[in-house]
Amino acid sequence: MTANLMIVEDDDRVRAALRLAMEDEGYDVAEAEEAEVALEQLREHGAPDVVIIDLMLGDMDGFTCIREIRKDHDVPIIVVSARDDTHDVVAALEAGADDFITKPFEVKEITARMRAVRRRMHAGAAGQADSLRAFNRADERAADDTEDREITTMVLDDHGDASLILSPDSGTVRRGDDEIHLTLTEYRLLCELAESPGRVLSRAGLLERVWDRGFFGDERIVDVHIRRLRTKIERDPSDPHLVVTVRGLGYRLDPQR
């Protein structure tokens, strides 16, 4: 199936180059030179499969535009910008971007990143669900003798009516009766941690397993997404007990019983 892509870029030459490269990759491309135009297209036509966005737009900065998109859509967002300061990269990721590419760029880098995003999109929660179901079944068999029982949930934080429950079959995370809204990347990150509770996973390992080999960025993107994940699943994000930082090594998921 042909994937749909939106390019939000106010530089005509850059936008045209991206459109041609992405059309060569088989994408149906929509363009917007202003953030408000992009947001209006999203309201009218729904989210595409991927959004590429610049940070320096004429009518609205890219950070604000990303946050507006994130209010209603889980679409993967890739930033392409001349701003390469660490603060800008982290701010873009904090706003909701999934990847960051610095201008000037090679078209082959863009297309490689797009292929990586597309692989993640197709893999989605389905692949994680299979592995987590296997983990849950093994964990449950160790707890009791009902080997034929099908396990479809994993309790990450046992807190009575406000327990945090991961449901691989439906690809959802709930705190009590409320579903927690996670992006695909956040969900995949949580699944990777949940597959190995109590085990430290390095940033490099998470980067490779969650973002795929097509991602060329550095490990700080893992830290940013961990912070975003904590704000959604921890009882107190400022004092996390579920997703724990192991200094110098990486992160560990400690289920709360």
DSSP 215: -
pLDDT at 93: 84
DSSP bridge partners of 57: none
- Give, for all 257 residues of the chain, the pLDDT tens digit: 678 999 999 999 989 988 998 898 888 999 999 999 999 999 999 989 899 999 999 888 899 999 999 988 888 899 999 887 878 888 888 888 888 888 888 878 888 777 776 666 665 545 444 544 444 444 444 444 434 434 468 899 998 888 999 987 778 899 998 999 887 788 889 999 999 999 999 998 998 888 765 455 567 788 888 998 999 999 999 999 999 999 999 999 999 88
Amino acid identity of residue 106, one-letter, is E
| Residue 12: other Cβ atoms inside 10 A | 10
Cβ atoms of 199 and 250 closer than 8 Å: no
Q: What is the pLDDT of residue 146?
A: 37
Q: Which two tokens stand for residue 79?
A: 């930033």
pLDDT at residue 148, rounded to an integer: 42
Query: Which pLDDT does position 253 carry in this prediction?
Result: 95
Give me the pLDDT at residue 125, please: 45
In this prediction, residue 34 carries a pLDDT of 94
d(CA 73, CA 69): 6
128 CB neighbour count, 10 Å cutoff: 23
DSSP state of 151: P
- Cα–chain-centroid distance for residue 223? 12
pLDDT confidence of residue 1: 64
> Which DSSP letter does residue 139 get?
H
Domain architecture of the chain: domains with CATH: 4-105 (3.40.50.2300), 123-253 (1.10.10.10)
pLDDT of the residue at 215:
54
pLDDT at 64: 94
